[in-house]
Amino acid sequence: MASTFSAVQVTIIDPNGDLDLRLYTTKDATGHQFNSASNGRPIVGKIHGQFKVSRKVMVDSSSYFKAMLSSNWAESRQSVVDIECERPTSAELWYRVFHKSLVPDSLYDIPIDMIGNVIQYGGLVQEVKGSDADLEELREWFKKCLERLDLPKITTDELKMLLYPCYAFNHAQGFATVTKRLAYEMSGHVTEISTTEDRSIHLDGNVIGSVNGAKGSLRSRLIRGLFEPMDRFLDARCACKEKSLFAYCQGIRKTGIWPLQDLHKKSVQDILDSPGFVKFDIKIPDGACFTCISKLSLTTIAKVRADVSKDFDGLCLDCINMTKTGDVDNDYWAHDRMKHWGKSCRINHGQPSWYFSFVGRKTDMKNHQLKKKQARDLFRNQSWSDSD
């Protein structure tokens, strides 16, 4: 069954537009065809979007369309141009941004797994890799998209899909929330989920390493908080210490952290929210002394839960991106000295977030590491010269 030009609903981007961009797909297009706008010959595919735009705006806004519409290509002389495009929603968004046209409400509700394609299409129209696309004009759009999502409740798979978009659109609060939830709620290794065919669209490896580092730190703090009281029982001299220690171990077991060899199967949040942790229950042994009773206090465990729950605020994009003194080393030690971990950052955070965020953008850190290596080599060569 053939689709025809007249049957396609046209979306008006520019009411005074002089060019129609007709988007089609060849996927699942068996039995579908339409007549080419350039020569009238049948093309196997389905038209799933047509947009009236300004040729001048498209040429001025996109190197991709500049090459297509202002050169010796056949499209430069056509009023209707056919373009193969699998995601017309992403295309429409960019066309509206180019024209500074009102973005309809529906474009703020696109599925999470389509946001990566918006980035990929930005790379296409700018003729760069998706990871190098300039997304400045779409930051407000992404901000509104996130406002409509219930970030505290979306699934961990959806969080993984949002990792790179939050990073690429420089959304500090979104990135912090996503990385915090993954650190607390993932039992296994934290990874991204790619939603595009562009393999360049991914986080720098050191950022993913930092999320996993923060997750490991939370686990260590949780274990340390629960097991440190055992030392106080072992060092005690009272006759009831054995019974009290056994009672404490029984209480710990109910939190789900025991046995330790199975800990990797549970996330930090799973353990913190376990009934045995929330309502820590210890049966005080008969004849326990005052000291042992105080060690078995429920407030001790409540403090561990509270401390671990608020330990990590997520990764901070400002700490990743900025070297406020202009020097990576000086900036690191300045923060460490002042203890103002979130100074000048868009999110409030403590020392753990600063520590795990201080990784820098991959390119910046590579250049920094190269300079340090060159300085070491120069120093070594000078030392050898002096010794001669």
In a domain, 97, yes or no: no
Residues 6+ apart with CB under 8 A from 285: 240, 243, 244, 246, 247, 292
Contact 44, 34 (CB under 8 A): no
In a domain, 298, yes or no: yes
Residue with tokens 């060849």: 26
Mean pLDDT of the 311-339 span: 68
278: tokens are 């929330």
Residue with tokens 């008969």: 286
pLDDT-derived band at 1, boundaries 50, 70, 90: very low
Q: Could you tell me which of 113, 118, 130 has the C-alpha nearest to residue 90?
A: 118
Q: How many residues does the chain have?
A: 388
CA atoms in the 13 A half-sphere facing the CB of 266: 19
Considering 288, 309, 330, which residue would you say is the last residue of a domain?
Answer: 309
Q: Quote the pTM value.
A: 0.83
As a whole-number percent, the residues of the chain with pLDDT over 70 amount to 84
In a domain, 206, yes or no: no
In a domain, 329, yes or no: no
**Residues 145-158: pLDDT tens digits?**
999 999 989 999 99
Task: Please tell me the total count of domains within the chain.
Answer: 2
Per-residue confidence (pLDDT) for residue 54, from 0 to 100: 97
**Residues 164-187: pLDDT tens digits?**
999 999 999 999 999 999 999 999
Residues 6+ apart with CB under 8 A from 384: none
Lowest mean pLDDT among 142-146, 284-288, 366-370: 366-370
Contact 348, 342 (CB under 8 A): yes
Residue with tokens 């735009």: 53
Q: Could you tell me which of 290, 280, 223 has the C-alpha nearest to residue 247?
A: 280
If you write DSSP's letter for every residue of 139-162 in order, what string do you get?
A: HHHHHHHHHTS-TTTS-HHHHHHH
In a domain, 382, yes or no: no
Considering 278, 309, 340, which residue would you say is the last residue of a domain?
Answer: 309
CA distance 345 to 319: 7
In a domain, 128, yes or no: no
**Residues 280-308: pLDDT tens digits?**
888 899 999 999 998 888 888 889 999 99
DSSP secondary structure code for residue 22 in this structure: E
248: tokens are 């404490």
DSSP secondary structure code for residue 331 in this structure: H
In a domain, 95, yes or no: no
CA angle 324, 327, 201 (to 5 degrees): 75
Contact 315, 175 (CB under 8 A): yes
Which of 257-271, 322-336, 357-371 has the highest average model confidence (pLDDT)?
Answer: 257-271
Segment holding 121, helix H or strand E: helix 112-126
Considering 309, 339, 358, which residue would you say is the last residue of a domain?
Answer: 309
In a domain, 203, yes or no: no
Question: Could you tell me the residue range of the domain that residue 4 belongs to?
Answer: 1-85
